[in-house]
Amino acid sequence: MSDDAATDEIRALEADERRLVLDSFSNDDAWALGSLLVNMARARDAAVTIGIRRGTQQLFHYALPGTSADNDAWIARKSAVVERYDASSYLVGARFRAKGRTFEESSRLDPDHYAAHGGAFPLRIRGTGLVGVAAVSGLPQAEDHALVVTALARLI
């Protein structure tokens, strides 16, 4: 990817994060977002696992047929990146790639606990900041990311 393309990708990802901020986030909102993600995945016949957390509490989890416990591990690792960097896992990975480095080599974080691959998105409340994470695992990283972004945009 060229430097200009990488910069454009990062700007677009950052714009999504500025745009997709919630006024509140309740357990019912987690259910609505999770159910929307399940329905969207089913419509695409996508084998994904979905996890939504507020802080350390799991509010929603669903694994569609064709997934495994590996998808749960990916969700945990991608969500840890969101919580550490206060940015989507895809954006964090893109920022490292734009510098010509990989997250795994340059972050100095244990890859068993952190993965800067697309699919985990910060749940932010306006005036409060990061309160949780919505994550998907099972598709190529850009598609995992896009699924969460599309669902969150619909919810808002």
Residue 28 sits in a domain whose CATH number is: 3.30.450.150
> Is the model's pTM score more than 0.85?
yes
Place of tokens 């997934």: 67
Distance, CA of 113 to CA of 87 (rounded, Å)? 16
Q: Residue 7: what pLDDT? A: 87
Distance, CA of 40 to CA of 47 (rounded, Å)? 11
Low-confidence ranges of the chain (pLDDT < 50): none
Q: Residue 1: what pLDDT? A: 58
Q: Residue 6: what pLDDT? A: 80
C-alpha separations of 55 from 84, 100, 122, 132, 137 in Å: 12, 32, 11, 5, 19
DSSP state of 22: B
Q: Residue 109: what pLDDT? A: 92
In 3-state terms, what secondary structure has residue 110?
A: coil
Write out the residue range of the structural domain in which residue 136 sits. Answer: 3-155
Q: Residue 56: what pLDDT? A: 93
Which positions ≥6 away from 97 have C-beta within 8 Å?
1, 6
* Count: domains in the chain: 1
C-alpha separations of 67 from 79, 118, 132 in Å: 18, 17, 23
C-alpha separations of 51 from 37, 59, 63, 74, 133 in Å: 10, 8, 9, 10, 8
Q: Residue 4: what pLDDT? A: 72
